[in-house]
C-alpha cells in the first residue's frame, strides 16, 4: 500500500472518529478532516463523496479552514542553491533565498527572477538578494537556454511558484515576476497569460514582437515596470517603446525606464545598478488587485484559464500559439483567431460582457462581488469588425436570477490554485449561442446610426485603443 493511500485512509478514519464526539468540537473536526481529505485525494469518486458529506456546511466555515492551510511555521532563512523541482518527470534546478522572519504571522513578498541565455538560477540569485536588501524572498529557477516562452518552462515556473507558496509563508498578494533578456520574454509571456497571479511584472532588457502584443490587453490590473537600454544591440528599443505606448494608451499601470548606459560586454543589454533603487521602491508599493471591477482578456486556445473572476471557456476557431523550445522543438501550431472578452461589474449584481470570437464563458462570484440574496443580471454584447470599423451587436440578457453557491466551485478552485485570497463560491456559465441572436447584415446597418455612442463607451473602456495599437495577426512565431 503506497503512502498516499495510507494518508487518505488515515484522514478518513479521523473524519469518522470525530463523528463520535459531541457539540461544536465534533462538527469542527469532522469538517476539517473532510476538507483535508478532498485536498489530498486525486480520486474523482472520493472527491464526490466528500462533497456530498459537506453539502450542508456553510461556505464561510470551509473558507476559514482553507485559509488555515496557508499558515506556515517559520522556515529556515538564508540561501538555498542546490534545490530541484520535479515536473512532468524531469528535474529542474533552482535557487531560493528566504529572509529572516519576525514571526509565523509575517507574510513574505516573493520575487521570481528568470535568467537569460547562458545564465542559471544559482548565478542569478545572489545579486537580486542584495538588490532587495535581504528583505524579500527570491526564487530563481533554471531552464535550458533560458527559453522561458516554451510551454514546459511556463508550466514548471508556475508549479515552482505554487510549491514555494505552499512550503513557505509567502504573501500570495505580493508575488512578482522579473526577468532579464530571455527572462524578460518569459516575464511578458507568463505574466500576460496568468496576470492575476502576480502583483507586478518586471521585464528587463527584453521584449516581445508585435504578434504577441495582443496579450498585453490582459494586464489591465497587473502593474508592469519596464527597464530597457536605448543602445541595446539585442532587443531593439522600438519594441519596448511600442509596448509602453500600447499600455499607456489603454491607461494601464505601467512605468517605463529607458536608460542610455552602455556596458563593456553587452552594450545597453543589462540592468544598470543605478536603476535598482527606483525598481525596489516600486516593488515595495505594489499589491495584487483582488476582484477588480473590470477584467479584460485576449485568449488563444492554449491559454484559457480564468483571469480573476472571468474565464473564456470556448472561442471560435481559436489559434493555438506555441513557440519552440529545447523540450518542444516542433510544437503543434495552427492558424486561427484571437478571442477578446471584457467583463465589467457595472453596479450591484449587474455585469456586462462584450467581446469577439467568444462562444462560452464563465463568471465566478463571492460575497465581495455579489449579494447572493438578490438576482444577478448578466448581459452579453458581441463586437464585430467590418472594414476596420467596430460594430457592436445587440446587447442581450444572458442571465437574470439568483446565483446559487456551490461548494464544488469553492473547493476545486482552492485545489487548483492553493490561493487563500482567491476563493469563489459560485459560477455561472454562459453559452452565447443559446442566449444571443446573431445580427444580420441588415440589422447591423440599421444599428449603425447609434454605433457612435456605443463606440464612444467602448473607447472609454480601452477597446478602441486595443484595436488602434494592435494589428491582428494569427502567425505563431516570435
- Assess whether 298 and 281 both reside in one domain: no
Residue 62 lies in a domain: no
Q: Do 170 and 49 belong together in one domain? A: no
Q: How far is CA 436 from the centre of its chain?
A: 29
pLDDT digits (tens, 9 = 90+) for 250-279: 999 999 999 999 876 678 999 999 999 999
Smallest CA-to-CA distance from 428 within 354, 376, 359 is with 376
**What is the arithmetic mean of pLDDT over 220-232?**
97
Please report whether residue 385 resides in a domain. Answer: yes
Does the pLDDT value for residue 105 go beyond 70? yes
Q: Which helix (H) or strand (E) holds 87?
A: strand 78-87
Q: Tell whether 258 is covered by a domain.
A: yes
CATH number of the domain at 140, please.
Answer: 3.40.50.1820
Same domain, 302 and 217: no
The Cα 272–Cα 77 span in angstroms is 28
Whether residue 441 is found in the same domain as residue 327: yes
Query: 373 and 317, same structural domain?
Result: yes
Residues 208 and 249 in one domain: yes
Domain end marker among 235, 259, 285: 285
Domain that holds residue 265: 78-285
Q: What is the pTM of this model?
A: 0.86
Q: Is 156 helix (H, G, I), strand (E, B) or coil?
A: helix
Backbone angles phi, psi at 461, to 5 degrees: -85, -10
Per-residue pLDDT band at 358 (split at 50, 70, 90): very high
Does 190 lie in the same domain as 149?
yes
> Is 325 within a domain?
yes
What is the residue-averaged pLDDT of the chain? 86
Whether 16 and 47 map to the same domain: the answer is yes
pLDDT of residue 76: 80
Q: Averaged over 94-121, what is the pLDDT?
A: 91
Going 456 to 457 to 459 to 460, the CA torsion angle's sign is positive
Counted domains in the chain: 3
Amino acid at each position: 500500500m503506497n503512502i498516499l493511500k495510507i494518508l487518505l485512509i488515515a484522514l478518513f478514519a479521523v473524519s469518522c472518529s470525530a463523528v463520535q464526539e459531541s457539540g461544536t468540537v465534533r462538527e469542527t473536526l469532522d469538517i476539517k478532516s473532510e476538507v483535508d481529505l478532498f485536498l489530498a485525494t486525486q480520486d474523482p469518486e472520493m472527491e464526490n463523496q466528500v462533497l456530498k458529506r459537506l453539502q450542508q456546511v456553510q461556505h464561510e466555515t470551509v473558507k476559514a479552514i482553507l485559509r488555515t492551510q496557508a499558515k506556515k511555521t517559520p522556515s529556515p532563512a538564508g540561501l538555498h542553491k542546490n534545490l530541484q523541482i520535479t515536473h512532468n518527470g524531469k528535474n529542474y534546478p533552482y535557487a531560493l533565498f528566504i529572509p529572516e522572519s519576525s514571526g509565523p504571522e509575517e507574510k513574505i513578498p516573493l520575487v521570481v527572477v528568470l535568467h537569460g541565455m547562458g545564465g542559471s538560477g544559482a548565478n542569478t540569485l545572489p545579486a537580486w538578494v542584495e538588490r532587495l536588501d535581504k528583505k524579500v524572498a527570491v526564487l530563481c529557477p533554471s531552464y535550458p537556454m533560458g527559453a522561458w516562452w516554451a510551454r514546459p518552462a511556463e508550466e514548471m515556473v508556475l508549479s515552482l511558484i505554487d510549491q514555494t507558496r505552499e512550503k513557505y509563508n509567502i504573501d500570495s498578494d505580493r508575488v512578482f515576476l522579473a526577468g532579464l533578456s530571455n527572462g524578460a520574454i518569459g516575464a511578458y509571456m507568463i505574466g500576460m497569460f496568468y496576470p492575476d497571479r502576480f502583483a507586478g511584472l518586471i521585464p528587463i532588457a527584453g521584449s516581445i514582437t508585435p504578434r504577441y502584443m495582443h496579450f498585453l490587453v490582459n494586464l489591465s490590473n497587473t502593474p508592469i515596470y519596464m527597464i530597457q537600454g536605448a543602445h541595446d544591440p539585442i532587443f531593439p528599443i522600438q519594441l519596448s517603446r511600442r509596448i509602453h505606448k500600447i499600455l499607456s494608451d489603454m491607461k494601464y499601470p505601467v512605468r517605463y525606464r529607458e536608460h542610455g548606459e552602455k556596458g563593456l560586454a553587452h552594450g545597453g543589454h543589462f540592468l544598470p545598478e543605478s536603476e535598482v533603487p527606483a525598481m525596489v521602491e516600486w516593488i515595495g508599493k505594489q499589491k495584487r488587485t483582488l476582484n477588480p471591477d473590470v477584467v479584460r482578456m485576449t485568449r488563444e486556445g492554449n491559454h484559457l484559464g480564468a483571469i480573476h473572476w472571468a474565464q473564456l471557456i470556448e472561442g471560435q476557431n481559436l489559434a493555438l500559439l506555441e513557440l519552440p523550445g529545447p523540450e518542444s522543438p516542433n510544437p503543434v501550431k495552427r492558424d486561427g483567431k484571437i478571442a477578446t472578452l471584457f467583463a465589467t461589474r457595472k453596479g450591484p449584481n449587474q455585469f456586462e460582457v462584450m467581446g469577439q470570437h467568444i462562444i462560452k464563458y464563465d463568471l465566478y462570484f463571492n460575497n465581495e462581488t455579489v449579494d447572493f440574496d438578490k438576482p444577478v443580471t448578466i448581459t452579453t454584447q458581441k463586437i464585430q469588425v467590418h472594414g476596420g470599423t467596430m460594430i457592436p451587436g445587440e446587447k442581450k440578457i444572458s442571465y437574470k436570477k439568483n446565483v446559487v453557491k456551490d461548494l464544488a466551485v469553492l473547493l476545486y478552485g482552492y485545489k487548483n490554485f492553493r490561493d487563500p485570497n482567491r476563493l469563489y463560491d459560485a459560477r455561472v456559465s454562459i453559452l452565447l449561442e443559446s442566449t444571443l441572436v446573431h445580427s444580420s447584415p441588415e440589422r447591423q446597418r440599421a444599428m449603425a446610426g447609434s454605433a457612435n455612442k456605443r463606440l464612444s463607451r467602448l473607447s472609454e473602456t480601452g477597446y478602441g485603443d486595443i484595436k488602434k495599437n494592435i494589428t491582428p495577426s494569427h502567425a505563431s512565431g516570435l
